[in-house]
Structure 1
Amino acid sequence: MTINIEKLPREKVFRDPIHNYIHVQHKVILDLINTKEFQRLRRVKQLGTSSFTFQGAEHSRFTHCMGVYEITRLICDNFQRNYPSVTDDDGLWNDDERIVALCAALLHDLGHGPYSHAFEHIFNTDHEQWTQQIITSPETEINQVLRQVSSDFPEKVASVIAKTYENKQVVQMISSQIDADRMDYLLRDAYFTGTKYGMFDLTRILRVMRPYKGGIAFDANGMHAVEDYVLSRFQMYQQVYFHPVSRGMEVVLTKLLRRAKDLYEHNQMNGFEMPSLLVPFFENRVNINDYLALDDGILNTYFTLWLDYPDEILKDLSYKFLTRKPFKSAQYTEETQDKLPKLADIVEVAGFDKQYYTSTNTSYDLPYDVYNPRKHKSRTQIEIMQNDGSLIELSTVSRLVNALTGKILGDERFYFPKAMLEEHSDDIFSEEYTKFQKHIYNDMII
């Protein structure tokens, strides 16, 4: 099949705070960047509600995707320079795979919806499936651009996202325990949140990456750089991504969308501003155009309109989200989780509908795992290549990584209105507030 890979007359560069310059050399990459589907990612925040905690975290999925593309380009350059394939079965890098790797890297987050994970939970969407659908649908500009390379090229790119592409080196560049996606978002998110937890030596890691028949490995003399990356990722999850206040705002957002959906299903949105772009999601009949019509700004506009909505719960939750009024939280354990129904009941007696004003939120991460073929979603372990060419799994040679291997870390929190912790001496429910606070401070971890 004829492959059309046209180079630009002159390399185009994009300024970037993480990578300095992002280099675009292929026409297909520039054409993909200019599609309406990719430009939409400018209007979707990378970190969702984390910007309510870390005020600098206003960066977008667009900038992240550009960064993942650039890291993938650097990997391809390194492989072609130092490990070019000579024979078909030598396990080294075949540079014919470059363009599919670059396109998959650029488009890997194409299917993210507004406020990503909260939106997915309410409307049961999967951004990876939507990414594949946008790439393979003839309706999209993305598909039309990819088909200019070859008629089956969109399916090839989508298979990289699905992790079914035949070349495991390409798949692992985009999706593994140490890939271009993770490396960019750790550095980018650390930069924009103003934290240092996610910093690691990207230059060194790229230098020690090498292809082999089974995928990608790392030279033994670069093991400590890889080890540092794993620890940085662990710290970012615990200190930034799992921050209780960010999760408190995500709970408000989740309950807000849930209330809007419930009102619509009970025909209580008639006669007011109908959220027409959300209706397909309320009715579970979403097509590609419906999905791509949404971004963070669209949701925020609806929330602003709902400040005047006659339903007090929708109005209040909209106000809380737009003015940064997160729910408060207390950490619970297996020993104390049996108290949660009682706490929720107290919240309801105090005047808050517990369905919309209480929630549990669980945030756990597995910092590093070893390959287990019996798992439903087994992870590709990090392989260290010895001087004799043999491979050894990272945690067997790193005590630090071994200490994190297979350990699911995080916490479980019960979220509730901040008012439950305030003084209400003149309130008829003051006794309930006191009772709630007694349970929280005596039994839970604030």
Structure 2
Amino acid sequence: MEKFIRDNVHGEIYFEDKVFSELIDTDEFQRLRRIIQLGGGQFVFPSANHTRFSHCIGVYHVICKFLENEIINKNISAKDKKILKIAGLLHDVGHGPFSHTFELISAVSHEQYTVEIIRGNTQINKVLINNGINPKEVVSVIEGKHKNKIVNFLVSSQLDADRLDYLLRDSKGAGVNYSKPDIDWIIRNARIYEGQIVFTNKAINAIENFLLGRYHMFKQVYEHKISIAFDNTFKMWFKRLKDLYIDKYQFRASKTIEIFKEVFENKIMPLEKYTNLDDYTMFEIFKVLRDEDDIILKDLSNRLINRKLLKVSSDLSRETIEKMKTEFQGDSKYYFDIATIRDISIYKRSSEKKDENIYILNKDKLTNIKDLSEIINVDWNNKIKKIYIFPMYNVE
């Protein structure tokens, strides 16, 4: 079996085994078509409407490119290569609506849901078993616990296939030029040393460019004030929804509210419910709840639908915010908040539990790239800053 997908980032993406097509055709994977990669970023960059679906396929492709490196290829068994590709394809299948935004209200991370989808009573699980693939082995890669460190590195590290794809894809989708990692050069200069992936000194500049690109993408795209505003408006919307549920408010749309019952009660949302949720579902829920009698829920739902989001600023004083609260006509606890954002580190040394360092091999000597790069060694401070959340107009 041969199958090609045309991708606007990588060009033609090739699938040589039917298991990949069967996985893509499952309901759980097709759901990713309806989950925007950048969540609230779509309200900043009009063309940033690419999905987790295209990203997952892109990660699969980058892994395939790594396997074209003969040194890497011969250090992974045929069986583990297939497991690795499947793990790359499925690594984000557990994302909820609006990608990371949904995790603000969920007690379970998207990584946990990914594992549950692969192991649970799902179409993906059945496809794997029917093709002789042990779902537990796929999970071991996603959790970074596979016996082959090379396999783990390619799916989860500071320089993995996931980051290489999303930086390139998000940059293109947002229409910015902050991050265009030289994937081919980085892969060409990858080597194996003592059972792990390292890079030759020829790749230092390309890796620095990759790390700087990621840093700038966080500053200018992922942490854009409108994206933060969407996240916090969504959080406030859910806070009001949950409070009404706890107060036994009589919702007109009682069936809609039933969707979130477990989340309201700080329990785990069942998999069959979770996999029915996507961005489309949430926007329909916003529309339905806009017709409720509660004025705050109506208002916050309308703000999410029509991009009349709460505002964010790190420049206002506490006194200014308190004055705005006293003048605000409405319940301030659903409209004012303080969020904290930690400045992203351009590079971090790995913990003892998991070695994610990027190593450079030069004349048989292995060195952490941080000890060779002047750029990476700049003191980026990694400060935590407060951001005030507030409305620009009263409840309508």
How far apart in 2 are the matches of 1:18 and 1:118? 25
How far apart in 2 are the matches of 1:210 and 1:96? 21
How far apart in 2 are the matches of 1:253 and 1:125? 17
How far apart in 1 are the matches of 2:392 and 2:255? 30
Provide the residue aligned with 2:100 in structure 1.
117
Kindly indicate whether residue 172 of structure 2 is the aligned counterpart of residue 183 of structure 1: no
| One-letter identity of the residue aligned with 2:300 | L
Which residue, out of 20, 23, 28, partners 1:37?
28
- Is the Cα–Cα contact under 8 Å of residues 366 and 409 in structure 1 kept in the other structure? no
Q: 1:379 to 1:207 in 2, by over 3 A?
A: same
| One-letter identity of the residue aligned with 2:58 | G
Provide the residue aligned with 1:60 in structure 2.
51
How far apart in 1 are the matches of 2:71 and 2:145? 26
Superposition deviation, residue 65 in structure 1 = 0.3
How far apart in 1 are the matches of 2:243 and 2:72? 57
Which residue, out of 202, 205, 217, partners 1:221?
202
Kindly indicate whether residue 23 of structure 2 is the aligned counterpart of residue 47 of structure 1: no
Provide the residue aligned with 1:416 in structure 2.
390
Provide the residue aligned with 2:289 in structure 1.
306
How far apart in 2 are the matches of 1:233 and 1:285? 32
Superposition deviation, residue 200 in structure 1 = 2.1
Kindly indicate whether residue 363 of structure 2 is the aligned counterpart of residue 372 of structure 1: no
Provide the residue aligned with 1:278 in structure 2.
260
RMSD between superposed Cα atoms in Å? 2.0
Provide the residue aligned with 2:365 in structure 1.
390
Q: Higher relative contact order by CA 8 Å / sep ≥ 6: 1 or 2?
A: 2
- Is the Cα–Cα contact under 8 Å of residues 280 and 286 in structure 1 kept in the other structure? yes
Provide the residue aligned with 2:378 in structure 1.
403
Superposition deviation, residue 314 in structure 1 = 0.4
Provide the residue aligned with 1:4 in structure 2.
none
How far apart in 1 are the matches of 2:369 and 2:15? 34
Choose 176-185 or 194-203, whichever is displaced more: 194-203
Provide the residue aligned with 1:140 in structure 2.
122
Deviations 1:264-314 (A, max 9, x none): 121114344531323333232521101101111111001011222110100
Provide the residue aligned with 1:158 in structure 2.
139
Which residue, out of 360, 364, 370, partners 2:338?
360
**After TM superposition, where is structure 1 displaced by more than 4 Å over at least 4 residues in a row?**
none
Which residue, out of 226, 237, 245, partners 2:218?
237
Superposition deviation, residue 344 in structure 1 = 4.3
Provide the residue aligned with 1:174 in structure 2.
155
Superposition deviation, residue 321 in structure 1 = 0.9
Provide the residue aligned with 1:202 in structure 2.
183
- Is the Cα–Cα contact under 8 Å of residues 201 and 361 in structure 2 kept in the other structure? yes
Superposition deviation, residue 182 in structure 1 = 0.4
Deviations 1:31-50 (A, max 9, x none): 11111110111111100011
SS in 2 for 1:198: coil
Superposition deviation, residue 346 in structure 1 = 4.1
Q: 1:74 to 1:269 in 2, by over 3 A?
A: farther
Superposition deviation, residue 149 in structure 1 = 3.7
Provide the residue aligned with 1:441 in structure 2.
none
SS in 1 for 2:378: helix
Deviations 1:222-249 (A, max 9, x none): 1111111011011100111111121112
Provide the residue aligned with 1:381 in structure 2.
357
- Is the Cα–Cα contact under 8 Å of residues 55 and 166 in structure 2 kept in the other structure? yes
- Is the Cα–Cα contact under 8 Å of residues 312 and 387 in structure 2 kept in the other structure? yes
Q: Which runs of 5+ in 2 are unaligned?
A: none
- Is the Cα–Cα contact under 8 Å of residues 332 and 412 in structure 1 kept in the other structure? no
Kindly indicate whether residue 306 of structure 2 is the aligned counterpart of residue 323 of structure 1: yes
Q: 1:111 to 1:83 in 2, by over 3 A?
A: closer
How far apart in 2 are the matches of 1:23 and 1:219? 28
How far apart in 2 are the matches of 1:272 and 1:149? 42
SS in 1 for 2:16: strand
Q: 1:409 to 1:71 in 2, by over 3 A?
A: farther
How far apart in 2 are the matches of 1:410 and 1:21? 42
SS in 1 for 2:12: strand
Identity %: 35
How far apart in 2 are the matches of 1:55 and 1:178? 28
| One-letter identity of the residue aligned with 1:390 | K
Provide the residue aligned with 1:72 in structure 2.
63
How far apart in 2 are the matches of 1:118 and 1:83? 36
